[in-house]
Amino acid sequence: MSLFSIFLTAIGLAMDAFAVSVTIGMCCDSRRKTVNSIKAGMYFGIFQGIMPLIGYFASIKFADMTGMWDKVIAFIILAFLGGKMIYEALHDEDEACLKCYNNKAFITLAVATSIDALAVGVSFAVLDTNIFASCAIIALVTGILSFIGVRLGKFIAGYIGNKAEIAGGIILLLIGFKILFF
């Protein structure tokens, strides 16, 4: 697999993490924008880089075991978090976003958005790809795009005001449906 193909794969894998990062940026307190940008870059980058490695070494057998459940698990996690964001936005406007993005939430979102990378790891094994270089590229691209996504989200939130968290919850739900059905 060429370096260019790996780079394009990395961008494709990073899109869910980027969309979630924009959502985080829409909701996070301006004082925590830098911290959340760094956390998003680190958590999403690390998990997106580790998952293909796990898929690579577990190979076909592991992919067969998770194949029918990985999308359902990602959907449940994202639907729960999205629903929670919408509920809290409607019932607790001041604190909803701040409660959402602790380390536990970042880990949960990172796992949910990187499950599809397991299958990519399996395909890397079949294609005899340099797994360590590929994982490093995937982690770096996802980390950078997630960092930018949080920054961009704050800009977008300025235009939609206090509806940012509702929009963020809807985005997470849509990502969950996309993972489940496509």
Residue 41 has a pLDDT of 96
DSSP 8-state assignment for residue 163 = G
CB contact set of 66 (below 8 Å; sequence gap of 6+): 115, 118
**Nearest alpha carbon to residue 125 among 173, 60, 178, 180:** 60
CA-CA-CA-CA torsion sign (16, 107, 6, 178): negative
Average of per-residue pLDDT across 167-179? 78
Lowest mean pLDDT among 7-11, 86-90, 91-95, 111-115: 91-95
Query: pLDDT at residue 13 above 50?
Result: yes
**Nearest alpha carbon to residue 8 among 134, 125, 150:** 134
Angle, helix 131-160 to helix 3-27, in steps of 10 degrees: 30
Average of per-residue pLDDT across 167-173? 76
Maximum C-alpha span of the chain? 52
What pLDDT digit, counting tens, does each position of 84-101 carry? 778 877 775 544 454 456
Residue of 64 and 181 predicted with greater confidence: 181
Radius of gyration of the chain (CA): 16
| Residue % of the chain over a pLDDT of 70 | 81
Average of per-residue pLDDT across 73-81? 77
Reported confidence tier of residue 161, pLDDT bands at 50, 70, 90 = low
Residue of 68 and 137 predicted with greater confidence: 137
Burial class of residue 31 (count of CB atoms within 10 Å of its CB; 0-12, 13-18, 19+): exposed
Residue of 154 and 114 predicted with greater confidence: 114
Joined together, the tokens standing for residue 118 give 């397991």
Query: pLDDT at residue 76 above 70?
Result: yes
Please state, as a whole number, how many other Cβ atoms lie within 10 Å of the Cβ of residue 12. 13
DSSP 8-state assignment for residue 162 = G
Q: What is the model's pTM? A: 0.74
Burial class of residue 105 (count of CB atoms within 10 Å of its CB; 0-12, 13-18, 19+): middle
